[in-house]
């Protein structure tokens, strides 16, 4: 618990106090909970939070959520799970389930607490929690995370230069940055010339903060019997083998930016286009996958993080394991 105090103080810049619950407090809870977890009280800004410390590495997300709801009802306070070892897949499921959690010295996901820490910005926080990123904003964020080793980072580009680099209009870049600012993921710098600056120095923190509001890049999927001419990135399960141990699928998937797709459609260059089956599946993307993946892939695949977002809701266990490998490799 001392680790948590030090970690929260460093992360939030405020005093954090963690104390064990008393025997009298523990007595109000069922035995199956007190025998499974250890319980603590976290105090921030004079507000109490119940910490539920997991005593083992493996736990069922659905069952744990139900158990935390019991604790919340018993104490009428917000509850957070504390775990020392959490896999990328477990972090994904905890976030999707809306469970507050702390992994000491690695990650804090406390949306309920953060909303109440600043009552003056409650409306902004609610907006951040419910509205999704614009595809163009997500594009900038993913490029920043993926291309961390580029000599010139995109934070060093003016808005005008970003527009030229990514084939967007300057107005589109401005709106994308405004969208990131509204979600408190970045800020703008400069007076005459504007630059964006992401708020999280650790890209893993930026990813986890943005993950709940990021969207799938796939607008729709259609099937054709012939692959259209021109360069297209491999996508979906066709792209997973490069980034994971998963074997390639029989179905071939390709990602194509929406303006290119609609141009092919207009010129009637899509053979036997339909929504059900075909030799090739074309994923129509909301942003251009090619620029994002330059220097990242060795096999003409879409980038790993967009790939993750396109498949994160898939329930296939093999795909879930492949996605976990992607996060371990490219985020942590």
Tens place of pLDDT for every residue, the chain, 332 residues? 778 888 777 777 777 888 999 999 999 988 888 888 899 998 876 678 899 998 766 677 888 888 898 999 888 888 999 888 777 778 878 888 888 888 887 788 877 655 433 334 444 444 444 478 999 999 999 999 999 888 899 999 999 999 999 999 999 999 999 999 999 999 999 888 999 999 887 888 899 889 989 999 999 999 999 999 888 999 999 999 999 999 988 999 999 999 999 999 999 999 999 989 999 999 999 999 998 998 888 889 999 999 999 998 888 889 989 998 998 888 76
Report d(CA 302, CA 238) in Å as an integer. 10
Write down the H helix ranges in the chain.
2-12, 23-26, 31-34, 61-75, 88-96, 111-117, 122-130, 135-146, 159-166, 170-182, 203-210, 236-243, 258-266, 289-293, 304-311, 317-330
For residue 313, give the nearest of 128, 141, 92, 59 by alpha carbon: 92
Query: How many angstroms separate the first and last alpha carbons of the chain?
Result: 23
Write down the H helix ranges in 14-60.
23-26, 31-34
For residue 111, give the nearest of 77, 63, 78 by alpha carbon: 78
For residue 42, give the nearest of 126, 121, 123, 108 by alpha carbon: 108
Task: Extract the tokens encoding 281.
Answer: 């599946």
For residue 111, give the nearest of 129, 86, 90 by alpha carbon: 129
DSSP 91: H
Kindly report whether the global pTM for this prediction surpasses the value 0.85: no
DSSP string, 157-222: S-HHHHHHHHT--HHHHHHHHHHHHHTTSEEEE-SSS-EEEES-SSHHHHHHHHGGG---SEEEEE
The residue assigned the tokens 């903060």 is 209
Residue 174 neighbours by CB distance under 10 Å: 17
């Amino acid at each position: 618990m001392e680790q948590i105090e030090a970690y929260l103080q460093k992360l939030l810049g405020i005093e954090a106090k963690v104390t064990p619950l008393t025997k009298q407090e523990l007595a109000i809870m069922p035995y199956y909970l007190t025998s499974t977890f250890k319980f603590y009280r976290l105090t921030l800004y004079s507000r109490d939070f119940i910490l539920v410390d997991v005593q083992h590495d493996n736990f069922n997300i659905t069952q744990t959520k139900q158990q935390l709801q019991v604790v919340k009802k018993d104490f009428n306070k917000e509850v957070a799970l504390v775990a020392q070892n959490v896999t990328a897949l477990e972090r994904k499921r905890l976030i999707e389930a809306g469970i507050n959690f702390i992994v000491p010295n690695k990650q804090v996901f406390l949306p309920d607490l953060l909303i109440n820490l600043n009552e003056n910005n409650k409306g902004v926080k609610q907006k951040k929690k419910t509205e999704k990123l614009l595809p163009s904003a997500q594009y900038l964020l993913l490029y920043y995370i993926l291309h961390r080793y580029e000599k010139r980072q995109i934070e060093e580009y003016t808005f005008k230069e970003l527009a030229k680099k990514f084939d967007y209009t300057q107005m589109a870049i401005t709106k994308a940055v405004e969208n990131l600012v509204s979600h408190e993921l970045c800020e703008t710098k400069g007076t005459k010339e504007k630059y964006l600056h992401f708020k999280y120095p650790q890209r893993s923190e930026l990813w986890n903060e943005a993950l709940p509001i990021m969207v799938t890049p796939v607008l729709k999927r259609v099937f054709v019997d012939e692959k259209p001419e021109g360069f297209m990135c491999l996508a979906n399960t066709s792209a997973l083998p490069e980034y994971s141990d998963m074997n390639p699928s029989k179905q071939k998937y390709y990602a194509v930016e929406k303006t290119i797709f609609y141009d092919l459609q207009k010129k009637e260059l899509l053979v036997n286009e339909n929504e059900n089956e075909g030799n090739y599946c074309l994923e129509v993307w909301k942003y251009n996958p090619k620029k994002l993946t330059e220097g990242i892939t060795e096999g003409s695949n879409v980038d790993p993080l967009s790939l993750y977002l396109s498949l994160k809701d898939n329930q296939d266990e093999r795909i879930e394991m492949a996605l976990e490998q992607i996060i371990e490799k490219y985020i942590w």
